[in-house]
Amino acid sequence: MGRRCRACWARSRRGPRGWAVPPAAERPAFVRAMFASIAPRYDLMNRLMTLGQDRTWRREVVRRATLGEGQRLLDVGTGTGDIALEALRQAPGALAVGADFTPGMMRAGRSRAGGARVRWVVADALHLPFAGGSFDAVASGYLLRNVTDVPQALAEQHRVLRSKGRFVCLDTTPPPRSILRPFIHFHLHVMIPLMGRVITGSSAAYTYLPDSTEAFLSAEIIADHLRAVGLRAVGFVRRMLGTMAIHWGVK
């Protein structure tokens, strides 16, 4: 990993209000507990926060993975299995593996329609328990913002991809400077925590979301990281007024 990418990663952890997210040593336990606490209402909150657009973005992620009959997709940080389940809807003959380090989220996923068709694996995104070249596509939704080492997470996803395999990820990005920024800030810092408190009983989890979004890497820097781990044909598109981005690349 190049010095430039690692330096950008280190700087990115400081949000506009200082250390807006837990320190690296504390973050895995914090994130695991946070997702376990909101698992029963996680999908509902995603629909409300994005006005239902998260489903559209995940469908786009799977389309860009271009799965064929009998091909294998790994959904890293699968949570309740949105991407894995969408992959099986778009490519019924594919094999979908969902990996996450929060068993409570995957339990919620197993109970969903089609959940029994997904292979669920408890795993750390920084140390995936799969042999190199195991998958035709690797995808994730809202994973990278929550890991302590983005370069390592990407290196692991690159490792488990076969040659010419496709990488796709969806994540939040810091809001761009624009005339709409005050409205975006209000939605992130007022409406989302309020909805979180009402729907899940936890405003803390949905205070972490905007804080970690603003402290995260720009879409351009994520693209630099993808190239640094060896992916080719890297590209991205922004969604939802620039607060979301879908990245892709080929091994």
DSSP-based three-state secondary structure for 14 = coil
Residue 58: closest CA among 28, 36, 32, 89: 89
Q: How confident is the model at residue 8 (pLDDT cuts 50, 70, 90)?
A: very low
pTM: 0.87
Residue ranges and CATH numbers for the domains of the chain are 3-250 (3.40.50.150)
> Burial of 173 by CB count in 10 Å (0-12 exposed, 13-18 middle, 19+ buried)?
buried
pLDDT in tens, 93-120: 999 999 999 999 999 999 999 999 999 9
User: What are 244's two structure tokens?
Assistant: 């979301």
Which tens digit of pLDDT belongs to each residue from 225-250?
999 999 999 999 999 988 999 999 99
How far apart (Å, rounded) are the C-alpha atoms in residues 59 and 55?
6
Assess whether pLDDT exceeds 90 at residue 172.
Answer: yes
CB 145 within 8 A of CB 21: no
